Homo-oligomer: A and B are copies of this chain.
Amino acid sequence: MSGTYVHGYHPRENERLQDQAGTLVELLHSDTTYPSGSLVLEAGCGVGAQTVTLARRSPEARFMSVDLSADSIAEAKRRVDSAGLTNVEFRQADIFALPFEAESFDHVFVCFVLEHLSRPVEALAILKRLLRPGGTITVIEGDHGSTYFHPDSSAAHAAIQCQVELQRKAGGNSLIGRQIYPLMVDAGFEAVRVSPRIVYVEMIEGVRESALAAGLIEPESFDVGVEALHRTTEADGVFCYTFFKGLGEKRDA
């Protein structure tokens, strides 16, 4: 994979980074750590893709990771156990019916979850209720509309647009990244700050695995008939995608 790197524009912008998966983790998590003794709700942990990183980066914090799917939780638990982490507890629950008291948590972390929900503000308001006053919420979402590449291709954009439509029909919104700020404000959070984090890949023979791992593109879309996206993986290709990370506070009870 010589000559391959992901180059996110953040304070480490000028470093050449070899490990693409590691780079995405860094891009999303580098400014998130929780203090010793704090209790953090991870809402929608899925198969634990973020859970291992969260728990490892804040070893003195305790995490309650919930998901709707028992199968996903089983996989997340396996990953956390394999990593030797002991500061995570799992619970199966619906984000709209969480089995916790109001003001139970010091912090909330939500990553790649709102995109699947038809009522994202309602979900955020529920999470706000579970936060103690002074607690924070961190929200991370991608935005498929931030995808562009060289060589450009209307066929490739059409394939991505298919995914956007499929998500919309399923009740979700894969263009939600750009909306994190108004959604968090609508849900009543204060001191909201959102930072876009761009994944910029040049000379990208490795972008396929990276893009798939991050869920940016479904394998079918990438593989079947979308030669144009394959084309961007050649030596002169460039691929861009932006994640949005929002941080907000609950000020009052």
Name A's B-contacting residues (CB within 8 A): 7, 9-11, 13-14, 143, 145-146, 148-150, 152, 175, 178-179, 181-182, 185-186, 193-198, 200, 202-203, 236-238, 240, 242
Contact = CB atoms under 8 A, between A and B. Distances in A.
A110 B29 CA distance: 35
Contact of A195 (B9, B178, B237, B242): B9
30 contacts: A7-B194, A7-B195, A9-B9, A9-B10, A9-B195, A9-B196, A9-B197, A9-B198, A10-B13, A11-B11, A145-B148, A145-B152, A146-B146, A148-B175, A148-B178, A149-B178, A150-B179, A150-B182, A152-B178, A178-B238, A179-B238, A182-B202, A182-B238, A185-B236, A194-B202, A195-B200, A196-B200, A198-B198, A240-B242, A242-B242
A181 B194 contact: no
Contact of A202 (B143, B149, B181, B202): B181
Nearest to A145: B148
Q: So how many copies of this chain end up in the complex?
A: 2
Contacts of A237: 182
B198 A175 contact: no
A196 B145 contact: no
A168 to B, nearest CB: 11
Contact of A193 (B14, B175, B197): B14
Q: Which of A9, A11, A238, A240: most chain B CB closer than 10 A? A: A9
Contacts of A146: 146, 148, 240
Contacts of A203: 181
Smallest CB-CB A-B distances: 9 pairs: A182-B236, A181-B202, A11-B11, A145-B148, A196-B200, A150-B178, A13-B195, A196-B198, A178-B238
A200 B7 CA distance: 19
A152 B193 CA distance: 21
A175 B198 CA distance: 17
A245 to B, nearest CB: 9
